[in-house]
Structure 1
């Protein structure tokens, strides 16, 4: 039945697309009206179709697969007056667009870039504009759940971590403002230390991407990108406010930025603060689930001639309460708590954070410089330093607020050198060298050891483009050295110190292609290799992971895992009917994962179930689908579906903690403008999550929770407030306050998930 639905979806997708008769194109060049020089990097937007492109280094741009008729283009470039161009398309149209410099432009503008390979030819998605605005105040993991194929693995209401096609943690890389995020991300209860308020756009690459982004990009890559520094506005700012009813959270983000008179220096200062109380299910309050955040960032930029440089610094600080009911005294009490429909300990409305809790700090500094060689291309060098400190305070007898049970400090230095060569015919490309050095320290109880780690890598990516066809190929080599320092028996202080060493290396490649079919359809296919050496935690962890309410044991004999990812898809991005359908299959040999067991262990801090790191040959495959249709001018409907299957090849058993099938639908209605309210848009949405039936009997102490369906609504508007335009948003999640539990929530054993949540958002630019 499942495959019949997928085939029907593809049939409808193709038939609706072929029904249109659109096979025309626009080619053009953007130039400076004063001297005729071409303007690479200009933005050209087809207004009615909402398509955007950027002019190449030779000033050329193109739009393919357009319907006959009148098309309106908006052309803009920094330092120039924007212009609107109307063109009647009946075949292949070729035009030249000349822009006039603004009166404030004192010197000749010099272009400081080449067309770079931003993301590989794989299935990608992004959150931007209204979709991103409707996530303000939420965590990164929760925000990305709006994208098909993405979920979040949770530890209660305050910790959420992105999942791509069933993979998370060390298999999903996160780049924050161009820096590969490095923290204690090996645990599912370790949320990414990033501030989503910083992002102007969040991109997701779904599938193996090790060639471009390095080892560990087995499941995919998340790119959190702030807006570029503006060298031409002297001063501007933005304020975001969010308030949530469920946990009585308040969030405030402010941003100011500007530049100097000569347009060579730009700056940005951003900060955000969040404070949330205990979260609430449909029936009761979850004790000790409050949290707070305080974040800030600074960006400084300089450009002159062919040289540009940017300094970025950020600080992320959070304190997270962990649900008190996850700490159980004995095995019988633990089993009773798992079977109980609601926890014994019920909280109240409070912002207090008691034990157990996490205290996390993450600081980042990045210095990036580049130089454009007229006849060759652009060279760049980036250095970054990150310091991640995590303290975990457990609920143990005799504890006070000043003594932690665990403290980790991870220091990471990265150095990246790259060169993007000037387009050679139809070829664009990039090659580079990378290096990373890490040191990890700990204090308190043993969980993972001290370690040093060295990584080096070299890569080369080349893309060939001609008319409707694009081909991309890449090759990468990486070497990793790790040395641990620990006692032979972590639980015995008298045992000797050992310093085991590990060496891993592998060469991987990728090959992808895309083709623009007739009638506006685009197909793509990619074959990509990836690999991942075992993390120190997977090799040596031995102790209680408090937020998971489990005792976790590693395996020192683990090998590196290797992956071959095959993906293909078809998409349509213009017209009344749009959508995207993609399929993937992942051959993952020596896959490392944390397997639940029926074991229990009694410690001085209570009884915990045992989880063990094991290694199997695994297979992942699945489907992501998005379908949207404009019923009429002011009414749209969209459907999303994601399903993933994962099993152990050796015995055909299922892998644990794989997302259940998710289907959602949204009906969007554009409401009439009012005197003080413009661009009014109302969404009604419904999401159905199936019960995860692909589990191994007896592998976990509790069967996966039942299927559930949630309803919600979103309303956005631009409100005139004096001389200001105020962005207003009102959202309702779990509108009917349904009781449910999610399979990917580590605390599904103890409590329900969140009840109704009303969110108010405000945005003001000045």
Structure 2
């Protein structure tokens, strides 16, 4: 160990820069774009304030200044009719892209210096989307992001609970990163949504390849990165406020953010809130679908010489109503509710949030130190998270005011990353990671906990290297993880049980990029990924929401009419293997003068895929219920993503994206439920520049097809009839089924208008302008109600 440390330090010393004398051989280059149109700005004045020297950008908005002596400089960008931008630049940072805003619009200029979360694969570029494009019409949510990023969709439990889905995988199979750290929550539940406010971020990056090598387990489907607002030095005070209201749900929201940069410090503060009452479809109200959400966040940057220290904190508080008519007492009630013309228990509009509901509080804090030396970049980051989840179901008597699930998840992470300079043509990074979970049930629910208490400790080490060969790039990555899990739970008879588990896996990736010409790139990436069995998949027991489920180690199945749930199994009596995925993704990317397009195709094979399937009927005090058991199978998920952007004229652009996903159980030849259907979305944007005001128009058109390749349908009536006849409908069948056929396709139209003058902007938008009635296949409320009808949004924004 001492020898390895000596060799590492010796290598660092050999590549370090000698400080004895200052060389005037530094060069800074970059690109200047219009923040609204993303078009290059020619003839922008770029000045180095320390030397008062400078250049102007060329026709493509590029600039290059050489012969610089200092390690840190200040760049000033000025252009007639645009707001001045001042940028503090360190030469160990990436090439900057300057986004300038016109004087008449409310947006402020920003600087982007490469990926804010380093380590995205060099052979498969992430898709990046600026949140400001969505925020002009009020608070953005996960569904808004899904409309503009191909391959990204959401699985809903109504409008309030939205889980991102990437290439057909969601929950603990895709990784969310906020403030540069893994976002940890109770991701195992189908109706557990992350408490992330997209509006508090500056941009979203989506990595669609298997991201396990860089980010560790649970990134099987990919990674969604929410980048915070960059903290810039030498920046004047910037304050932005926004108020919005929307007609559907009679809701209102607000947002405020402030940021200022000094010589060595930069600080940021933001806050937002959103409230609405019962939502409505074109035909009826959706009782108990109100929402109350508020968020606060702050960040601090300290910069000195070759060192950056950043600290972030955020707090998210959610009180989410679930449609009252979606909770039924037994199969007879379920059959009646699914056939009703409107949801059961529909009442007059209200802002009250009754049961069923969710209360979720998420706190996150992190501190990161970055040290730059001789082309090396060293990152050391610690984070702490606290996720508190309470779920309130429809219960009898005083228990109705008590949560049926009350979980407290505490997470600690520590990550070290080393990004080394190019050495013998190799460009890459390596790192170490540690994660600790403490998930505990809180007392006072008066019910048997669905999950036992548990602790996770996970250690990982990885390395990624790439090398260029002319117009080709080859990349390889390798990672090893080991996880220790300690279980502490109680059986029905209150006897305790314990278990200690160890999971480990080696993952790898291989990528290739070919730059065919100045416009066309081809990328391919083959990667493995893995996920250990989740505690809920092993030990889940009893009723969660409206479903009764049993984890893999909470039942014995002898093939008879009923299963045995009185014993607790383990790895010896019933082996359960890691999920292991093999994903191959190919991408063709064209970048032209007026058009850009990307086409991606992928195939993902997952061995030992864990999911819940129906097994039989159980009788409770409320009546008969179907119950579900977890089991393992092999899965194939394949699909195509396509994106296109075409500049019709200088002021008019059309963008389109489409996604198709195919998923199948290859062991039992079944199709899976809640896989997103084919969707095509197009947007036409028009900018109108006036003498005093600027106008922006948006027309959004989307068509979602009826889902094909779906499992068979077994209605509640079918189950009741089989039960009455003594037929064991699920005894020997391995078939996946759905309670209802996939809904028909639907067409939606949104229309938006924004006008701006200096620091003010006013926007109006109509969603579902045609007030169509439709149901979403990936929304679990579709069994009981249609989706929301027309919604008018007004937003007023002011930037100081």
**Residues 298, 49 of structure 1: CA spacing in aligned structure 2 closer, same or farther, 3 A cutoff?**
closer
**How many Å separate the matches in 1 of 2:48 and 2:168?**
41
- Residue 627 of structure 1: how far off its partner (Å): 2.2
Q: Is the 8 A contact 2:175 2:222 kept in 1?
A: yes
Q: 1:94 to 1:540 in 2, by over 3 A?
A: closer
**Which residue number corresponds to residue 691 of structure 1?**
707
Show the counterpart of 1:214.
216
- Is the aligned partner of 1:714 residue 2:711? no
Are the equivalent residues in 2 in contact too, given 1:123–1:207 (CA < 8 A)? Answer: no
Q: Cα deviation per residue 1:137-166 (whole Å; 9 max; x = unaligned)? A: 132244333211111100012111101111
CA pair 163-79 structure 1, distance change in 2 beyond 3 A: farther
User: In structure 2, do the counterparts of structure 1 residues 47 and 439 end up closer, same or farther at CA, with 3 Å as the change threshold?
Assistant: closer
In structure 2, the partner of 1:127 is 129
Counterpart pick for 2:603 among 563, 585, 595: 585
Q: Which residue of 1 aligns with 2:391?
A: 392
Q: Deviation per CA, 1:93-138, whole angstroms, max 9, x where unpaired? A: 9965578857999999754547874411336322215533357413
Q: Distance in 2 between matches of 1:648 and 1:170?
A: 19
Instruction: Give the drift of 1:317.
Output: 0.6
Q: 1:198 to 1:703 in 2, by over 3 A?
A: same
Asked if structure 2 preserves the Cα contact closer than 8 Å seen for 1:254 and 1:272, the reply is yes
**1:43-442 to 2 correspondences below 5 Å:** 43-45=30-32, 85-87=56-58, 96=65, 101=74, 111=91, 113=93, 117-120=118-121, 121-122=123-124, 124-128=126-130, 130-133=132-135, 136-260=138-262, 263-373=263-373, 375=374, 377-399=376-398, 402-424=401-423, 426-442=425-441
What SS does the corresponding residue of 2:707 show, helix, strand or coil? coil
| SS of equivalent to 1:336 | helix
C-alpha deviation, 1:579, in angstroms: 0.9
Q: Answer yes or no: is the 8 Å Cα contact 1:328–1:607 preserved in 2.
A: no
2:786 aligns to what? 752
Cα distance in 1 between the residues matched to 2:421 and 2:669? 50
Tell whether the 8 Å contact from 2:209 to 2:525 is kept in structure 1 after alignment: no
Structure 1 residues 631 and 304 mapped into 2: Cα distance closer, same or farther (>3 Å)? closer
- State the distance in 1 between where 2:53 and 2:409 align: 48
How many Å separate the matches in 2 of 1:587 and 1:760? 45
Q: Say whether residues 1:624 and 2:611 are aligned partners.
A: no
| 2:536 is aligned with 1:534 | no
Question: Once structures 1 and 2 are overlaid, which stretch shifts more, 616-625 or 266-275?
Answer: 266-275
**Kept after mapping to 2: 8 A contact 1:594/1:614:** yes
Alignment of 1:669 onto 2:669: no
Instruction: Output the TM-score relative to the length of structure 2.
Output: 0.81
| Deviating more after overlay: 188-197 vs 170-179 | 188-197
| Distance 1:216-1:109 versus aligned 2 partners, 3 A rule | closer
Structure 1 residue 554: deviation in Å? 1.5
Aligned to 2:630: 613
Cα deviation 1:676-696 (Å, max 9, x = unaligned): 321523324232332334323
| 2:759 equivalent in structure 1 | 725
Q: Distance in 1 between matches of 2:683 and 2:37?
A: 20
Give the match for residue 680 of structure 1.
Answer: 696
CA contact (8 A) 1:81 1:101 kept: no
Equivalent residue in structure 2 for 1:639, among 656, 677, 702: 656
**What SS class does the counterpart of residue 500 from structure 1 fall into?**
strand
Q: 1:703 aligns with which of 735, 741, 744?
A: 741
The aligned residue for residue 15 of structure 1 is none
CA contact (8 A) 2:530 2:581 kept: yes
Which secondary structure does the structure 1 equivalent of 2:605 belong to? strand
* Aligned-residue offset at 1:177: 0.7
Distance in 2 separating the partners of 1:372 and 1:206? 30
Q: CA deviation at 1:711?
A: 1.6
Per mean C-alpha deviation after superposition, the further-off stretch among 674-683 and 503-512 is 674-683
Per-residue deviation, residues 664-710 of structure 1 (Å, max 9, x unmatched) = 2333333x323432152332423233233432343122111122121
Q: What displacement does 1:174 show? A: 0.4
SS in 2 for 1:539: helix
What secondary structure does 1:499 align onto? strand
Name the count of aligned residue pairs: 698
**1:765 to 2:766 alignment:** no
Distance 1:742 1:551, change over 3 A: same
The alpha carbon displacement at 1:48 in A equals: 12
Find the residue that maps to 2:332 and give its secondary structure: helix
Q: Deviations over 1:311-354 (max 9, x none)?
A: 11111111111111122123211112122232122133221111
Q: Do 1:327 and 1:606's aligned partners in 2 also have CA atoms closer than 8 Å? A: no
Gaps of 5+ in 2: 1-21, 77-83, 95-113, 554-573, 715-736
1:552 and 2:545 aligned: no
TM-score (norm 1): 0.85
Please tell me whether residue 492 in structure 1 is matched to residue 493 in structure 2. yes
The offset of 1:83, in angstroms, is: 6.0
Structure 1 residues 351-390: Cα deviation after superposition (integer angstroms, max 9, x where no partner): 11111111111111101111112x3512111011111100
Q: Is the 8 A contact 2:74 2:88 kept in 1?
A: no
The alpha-carbon distance between structure 1 residues 334 and 71, as it changes in their structure 2 partners (threshold 3 A), is same
Instruction: Please tell me whether the aligned partners of residues 531 and 563 of structure 1 are also in contact (alpha carbons under 8 angstroms).
Output: yes
Contact 2:86–2:235 (CA<8 Å) still a contact in 1? no
Whole-Å separation in 1 of the counterparts to 2:49 and 2:201: 21
In the aligned structure 2, how far is the partner of 1:156 from the partner of 1:207?
Answer: 29
For 1:443-454, list aligned pairs within 5 A. Answer: 443=442, 444=445, 445=447, 446-454=449-457
Higher mean C-alpha deviation, range 329-338 or range 75-84 = 75-84
Contact kept, 8 Å, 1:294 with 1:318, in 2: the verdict is yes
Matched, 1:574 2:571: no
**Structure 1 residues 420 and 575: CA distance shift in structure 2, 3 A:** same
In the alignment, which residue of structure 2 is the partner of 1:565? 583
Distance change in 2, residues 1:458/1:50 (3 Å): farther
Q: Deviations over 1:278-311 (max 9, x none)?
A: 1111111111110101211121221111122111
In 2: Cα distance, 1:256 partner to 1:231 partner: 14
| Residue 655, structure 1, aligned to residue 656, structure 2 | no
Q: Does 598-607 or 201-210 show the bigger shift?
A: 598-607
Structure 1 position 49, deviation (Å): 13
Match of 2:473 among 458, 465, 470: 470
The answer to whether the 8 A contact 2:637-2:662 is kept is yes
SS of residue matched to 2:318 = strand
Is 2:74–2:89's contact at 8 Å kept on the other side of the alignment? no
Indicate how the Cα distance of structure 1 residues 325 and 600 shifts in structure 2: closer, same or farther if over 3 A, else same.
farther
User: Is the Cα contact below 8 Å between 1:287 and 1:324 reproduced in 2?
Assistant: yes
Superposition RMSD on alpha carbons, in Å?
A: 3.1
